């Protein structure tokens, strides 16, 4: 008996010491963890859900009662959506959809193109002052973009591009570059050096390595940063307010949304419908690309 007992303890100990990953997996997939995840997801979704319900309620009810009273007194109307699309006069948000896309797409592509090239140089080319430059770019992330607004606008006035899309493309690209370079640099550094050397042995120069070896590997990181930047530019109001000045023909949808409630905020019942119109595109983009989003984020964050 006395010999059996220690044996049993040994096997117990062995059973209680699985790998850290296994513990994490077991704990995260336990019913309690799932329950917690569901509770958090529900809590997080309730405000959006309320917004969705509000957007279908009549004006008087929105203004007088909370959205939850919908369940005891369900009245559904499309009036808010009609007003948002300008059928009762006033702003038509659809006009601004195209503007937002015209602003967003180059504002995503320009920093991606520049940052991937720069990141490659920082990761795999040796040149004088590389570390200093990289630290300088890294440090630029600390500068709040608000303090650059007036000086940047002065420059735009000076080179006569105010009131055009160029101001927004340039501004968004400028603000995006430090983070983009840093993120892509970290990703590129993770590519095994052997791969690069093998390509070099085969006679590939930097250009060939960049296009043939790096870019295919980089796709998830590019997509992740692309979504990041797309969401940021799509939802941006501040930069658009300052630089899109000069006419509503270059204003994005966020500006239309901000103005939707009217001069004195008396038409705020339209905001819920307007919000749903304006988030349609980001939600679509996110849902279709979320696989890359998570993968790319993890990839960029491993190295500090």
Question: Per CB under 8 A, which of residues 111..130 are in contact with another protein?
Answer: 112-113
Q: Distance from CA of residue 293 to its chain's centroid?
A: 9
Question: Per CB under 8 A, which of residues 147..166 are in contact with another protein?
Answer: 149-150, 153-154, 156-157, 162
Cα–Cα distance for residue pair 176/188, rounded to 1 Å: 18
Which of 41, 94, 135, 298 lies at the binding interface for another protein (CB under 8 A)? Answer: 94
Cα–Cα distance for residue pair 13/5, rounded to 1 Å: 12
Which of 78, 284, 298, 302 lies at the binding interface for another protein (CB under 8 A)? Answer: 284
Number of residues in contact with another protein, rule: CB under 8 A? 58
Q: Which residue lies nearer to another protein by CB, 179 or 260?
A: 260
* Residue 268 found at the interface with another protein (CB under 8 A): yes
SS3 of 215, please? helix
The length of the chain, given as a count of residues = 304
Which of 140, 191, 208, 258 lies at the binding interface for another protein (CB under 8 A)? Answer: 258
**Are 117 and 273 a contacting pair, CB within 8 Å?**
no
Q: Which residue lies nearer to another protein by CB, 38 or 238?
A: 238
- β-sheet bridge partners, residue 87: 89
* Residue 204 found at the interface with another protein (CB under 8 A): no
Which window, 3-11, 28-36, 101-109, 124-132, contacts another protein (CB under 8 A)? Answer: 101-109
Question: Per CB under 8 A, which of residues 30..69 are in contact with another protein?
Answer: 59-60, 63-64
Q: Which position has the token pair 């509770």?
A: 39
**Are 219 and 226 a contacting pair, CB within 8 Å?**
no
- β-sheet bridge partners, residue 89: 87
CB of 263 to another protein, least distance (A): 5
DSSP character at residue 246: S
Q: Which position has the token pair 């905001």?
A: 271
DSSP character at residue 72: T
CA nearest neighbour of 124 among 202, 203, 177, 186? 186
Rule CB under 8 A: which residues touch another protein? 59-60, 63-64, 85-87, 89-92, 94-95, 97-98, 101, 105, 109, 112-113, 149-150, 153-154, 156-157, 162, 211, 215-216, 219, 222-223, 226, 241-242, 245-248, 255, 258-268, 280-281, 284-285, 288-289
């Amino acid at each position: 008996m006395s010999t059996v007992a220690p044996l049993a303890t040994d096997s117990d100990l062995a059973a209680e010491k699985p790998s850290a990953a296994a513990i994490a997996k077991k704990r995260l997939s336990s019913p309690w963890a799932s329950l917690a995840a569901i509770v958090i997801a529900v809590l997080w979704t309730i405000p959006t859900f309320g917004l969705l319900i509000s957007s279908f309620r009549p004006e008087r009810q929105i203004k007088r009662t909370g959205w939850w009273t919908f369940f005891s007194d369900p009245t559904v109307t499309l009036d808010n959506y009609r007003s948002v699309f300008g059928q009762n006069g006033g702003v038509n948000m659809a006009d601004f959809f195209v503007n937002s896309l015209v602003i967003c797409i180059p504002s995503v592509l320009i920093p991606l193109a520049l940052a991937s090239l720069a990141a490659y140089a920082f990761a795999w080319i040796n040149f004088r002052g590389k570390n200093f430059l990289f630290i300088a770019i890294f440090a630029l992330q600390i500068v709040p973009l608000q303090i650059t607004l007036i000086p940047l606008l002065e420059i735009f006035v000076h080179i006569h591009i105010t009131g055009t899309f160029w101001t927004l493309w340039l501004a968004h690209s400028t603000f995006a570059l430090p983070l983009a370079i840093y993120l892509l640099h970290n990703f590129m550094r993770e590519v095994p050096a052997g791969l690069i050397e093998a390509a070099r042995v085969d006679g590939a120069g930097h250009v060939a390595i960049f296009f043939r070896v790096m870019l295919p590997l980089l796709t998830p990181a590019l997509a992740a940063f692309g979504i990041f930047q797309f969401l940021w530019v799509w939802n941006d109001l501040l930069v658009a307010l300052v630089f899109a000045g000069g006419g509503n023909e270059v204003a994005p949808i966020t500006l239309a949304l901000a103005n939707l409630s009217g001069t004195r905020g008396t038409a705020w019942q339209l905001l819920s419908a307007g919000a749903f119109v304006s988030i349609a595109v980001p939600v679509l983009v996110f849902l279709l690309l979320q696989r890359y989003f998570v993968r790319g984020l993890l990839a960029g964050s491993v190295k500090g």
